[in-house]
Structure 1
Amino acid sequence: MTIIKILFGLFGLSIVVVVHEAGHLIAARLSGIKVEAFSIGWGKVLFSRVWKGTEYRLSLFPLGGYCKMQGEQAMIQAWESKAKTIETSEGDMYGALWWKRIFVSISGPLMNLLFASLIFFFISIIGYNIYYYPSRIVLASEYTDRSDYPADRSGLMSGDRIIRIDGSQIDRFDELQNAILMHPDEEMQFTIERNGQTQQLVVKPELNKETGAGSLGIFPWIEPSIKTLEPDSDFMSLGLLQGDRITAMNGKKVHHALDINRILSSEELQSISFIRDGFEKFLSVDEADSSIENPGIQFEYLTMRTNPGQVVRSIINSFQETWSTVYNSLKGLTMLFKGIDLQSAVSGPLRITYMTGDLAFSGFSQGIGEGLLSFFRFIALINVALFIMNLLPIPVLDGGQILFFMIEGLTQKKPNPTVLYRYQMIGTVMVFALIIFATMNDILFFSRN
């Protein structure tokens, strides 16, 4: 199963890279720069066809692809021959006007952004299911050794329902998480419902240095009603059924799912009280069955279906979703300079590949449609991330190229091959160092998990 997830993830990442390279291809052709080859995948060419002067290839290793433009090697050849300028011919990349090269460089990231918007558009126009828990909370301090989480300091209590944050309505726990995610160390106005009464509280999330996100120290309040049981569930073998609501274990009252986890982690199971079809039932557990290794329970959650959108409304939704993702990603980058644990917060290609496949398979457990939704939503997020990362002014990346071409345009001087080569080498070292660091993080992540 893990291999299938990885293959699925590789397929997803390949889509992102091919879309990026297609942006360069289209812009180059529009700018009069000859594209010698456009390949899906790397390595040995399995199939190729020439169309309008460009060789389109399908290569052996289906991880991304590349767009090879005429004259890309001219800079290295000029540096090796110690020439003071880069010799070019018609159709060469370095022979094009500086603003055309900027257009070609920026088109790859822009294509990623456009593709993300298209995904959000189709998701909006089709509609989708949302699976969620309500915005009722449980304090993490009641289940950990720590007692000074931001939720505790602000006066929140288990059982509180968060109904508004800074004036915005909150109905779901994921909306609550998203609201605090990008606001560490910022005061926020919470409106809560407690015992039928509303109250106002000022809450200040803290920075989680492992994730770089805002954190309160809360869990969702999950009702202890059984939605599904796995076929090999220990609870199924004890006689529990779908729809049963657990009310007590070992004589201890169960308010929510975390109570069940706490009891099972600290003692052997001796008895279960539950409600079935409106009647209270009691089950005594034999000593031979008292060790629960695989609960195999999915507790009750809520489901809502978004209404399929009209074209205009879906276009607006797609731009709003894209802008929100870009804004949150940029703000997330700033967290890197606030003392977070980079080993935990920075993911490399291995982990991203696995996460892509894992999210898709988690969605497929709800059906083919939900699996495709999860897959493409994550692909949209990766497209936005690639858009931002490639525009950073780092040599070798598109942003570094754009910066160099802009300097050429402002000074009206052709680039010196030696300066350009050294500039590119600095970028290559930086990017490879980042890849090695992120890959080592991935290896540590998989070894721990």
Structure 2
Amino acid sequence: MGTITFLIVLSILVFIHELGHFLAARYFGVTVHTFSIGFGKKLFSKHWKGTQWQFALVPLGGYVKMKGQDDTKPGLIENGDDSYNNKKPWQRIVILFAGPFANFILAAILYFAIAILGANSLSPTIGEVMKDSPAQKAGIQKNDKIVRINDTEIKTWEQIGKTITQTQGALKFYIQRDNKLQMFVIKPEINDSQNIFREKIKKRMIGIAPAPKLVTIYHSPIEAISYAYDKTIESSKMIFLGVQKLIQGIIPSSEVGGVITIGKVISDASESSFIALLAITALISVNLGVLNLLPIPALDGGHIMFNLYEIITRRKPSDRVFMYLTLAGWVILGSLMLLGIYNDINRIFLKG
């Protein structure tokens, strides 16, 4: 069942990505010969409105084949206003950007659905108070529930950390204890900590840890729009930073996951709950959008880079340069895929 869920989720993500390219291409009048989910031998196909729609044997991706676009023949010129290569560079950029943008839109829709159906978060209930911490000195106890900090209403544990780090000076904590509301004044201390990338940082802290309790937050449609926007932007920034830290060597290459890891994550999420499946699908959709925008030849971001070069210099890169850079891009992508699979297999054997 997990494998089927993985294939369905991946097919939806690929379909939405390629649909973005397809719709933008058709908007500018470009003929799309093929819309494929998967690569290799086609398993099913149907010709509809001038396009061959198909499912192929290897479901790890997809493509739209437009008239006048062929990475193996960068100098290809097909006559007619319906040819991709005859479009203005900015129009080609829109067509290229539309794929990743569609993934961001899908993620936002999924986050919106999560907000309406009920988003699970850690409860703002204290599970541990560190010895000699500002919280302990102020009288905070285990099982206290934080309901407000200054004028900020607290519904989730995440809000506590954000409020503490984004404010200055002493804070008024309104605590629910034994069905009574009490107020404590706590002055956070700046201590050593780690961010999500395990980098050492200085951070305002009060010395508390969460209890293992979840709370479900339901949002109104207006609140859900804000939630979806914030989560999509937050996820995008996190993935961009993750790529940057990987390039810098801060994140070890052993952390790179492949298709096996993605499949397991989707499978585990589907077994956990429908909301969890929506959340991981949204995150992978953002991931797909961000990674495709990287300026690597062979990816959408690489092709956008070529078109920006054409806008700036008023000439296309030579066929030879285009081919060499595209081949280099495929080598980079192939290496990353092999690294991910290698790491996946290592994790399996280590666990075994």
For this structure pair, what is the TM-score category when the shorter chain's length is used for normalisation?
A: 0.7 to 0.9
In structure 2, the CA distance between the partners of 1:190 and 1:112, relative to structure 1 (3 Å rule), is: farther
**CA distance in structure 2 between the aligned counterparts of 1:302 and 1:349, rounded to whole angstroms:** 30
- Tell me the CA shift for residue 205 of structure 1: 5.3
In the alignment, does 2:265 pair up with 1:355?
yes
In the alignment, does 2:128 pair up with 1:138?
yes
Please report the RMSD computed on the Cα atoms of aligned residues, expressed in angstroms.
3.6
**CA distance in structure 1 between the aligned counterparts of 2:162 and 2:340, rounded to whole angstroms:** 25
- In structure 2, the residue matched to 1:110 is 101
Counterpart of 1:306 (choices 198, 218, 228) is 218
- In structure 2, the residue matched to 1:5 is 2
Task: Tell me if structure 1 keeps the 8 A contact 2:197–2:242.
Answer: no
In the alignment, does 2:72 pair up with 1:76?
yes
In structure 2, the CA distance between the partners of 1:383 and 1:165, relative to structure 1 (3 Å rule), is: farther
**CA distance in structure 1 between the aligned counterparts of 2:238 and 2:200, rounded to whole angstroms:** 11
- In structure 2, the residue matched to 1:244 is none
Range with greater deviation from structure 2 (107-116 or 130-139):
130-139
Counterpart residue identity of residue 65, structure 2: K
**CA distance in structure 1 between the aligned counterparts of 2:132 and 2:329, rounded to whole angstroms:** 46
**CA distance in structure 2 between the aligned counterparts of 1:443 and 1:314, rounded to whole angstroms:** 39
Secondary structure, aligned partner of 1:71: coil
Task: Tell me if structure 2 keeps the 8 A contact 1:14–1:62.
Answer: yes
Cα shift readout 1:184-217 (whole Å, capped 9, x = no counterpart): xx99878568996432212445336876698989
The TM-score normalised by the length of structure 2 is 0.79
**CA distance in structure 2 between the aligned counterparts of 1:395 and 1:408, rounded to whole angstroms:** 15
In the alignment, does 2:86 pair up with 1:92?
no
- In structure 2, the residue matched to 1:122 is 113
- In structure 2, the residue matched to 1:40 is 37
**CA distance in structure 1 between the aligned counterparts of 2:300 and 2:188, rounded to whole angstroms:** 46
Range with greater deviation from structure 2 (101-110 or 86-95):
86-95
Cα shift readout 1:233-268 (whole Å, capped 9, x = no counterpart): xxxxxxxxxxxxxxxxxxxxxxxxxxxxxxxxxxxx
- Tell me the CA shift for residue 109 of structure 1: 0.6
- In structure 1, the residue matched to 2:344 is 442
In structure 2, the CA distance between the partners of 1:119 and 1:190, relative to structure 1 (3 Å rule), is: farther
Task: Tell me if structure 1 keeps the 8 A contact 2:126–2:208.
Answer: no
Query: Which ranges of structure 2 fall in alignment gaps of 5 or more residues?
Result: none
Counterpart of 1:317 (choices 215, 219, 227) is 227
**CA distance in structure 2 between the aligned counterparts of 1:417 and 1:317, rounded to whole angstroms:** 45
**CA distance in structure 1 between the aligned counterparts of 2:234 and 2:131, rounded to whole angstroms:** 30
Secondary structure, aligned partner of 2:322: helix
Q: How many residues align?
A: 335
Aligned ranges 1:332-343 → 2 under 5 Å: 332-336=242-246, 340-343=250-253
- In structure 1, the residue matched to 2:194 is 207
Cα shift readout 1:120-165 (whole Å, capped 9, x = no counterpart): 22333x33163644431437xxxxxxxxxxx779656694668478
In structure 2, the CA distance between the partners of 1:175 and 1:209, relative to structure 1 (3 Å rule), is: closer
Kindly name which structure, 1 or 2, has the bigger radius of gyration based on alpha carbons: 1
- Tell me the CA shift for residue 173 of structure 1: 3.7
The TM-score normalised by the length of structure 1 is 0.63
In the alignment, does 2:303 pair up with 1:393?
no
Identity %: 29
- In structure 2, the residue matched to 1:423 is 325
**CA distance in structure 2 between the aligned counterparts of 1:162 and 1:199, rounded to whole angstroms:** 15
In structure 2, the CA distance between the partners of 1:339 and 1:219, relative to structure 1 (3 Å rule), is: farther
Task: Tell me if structure 2 keeps the 8 A contact 1:189–1:202.
Answer: no
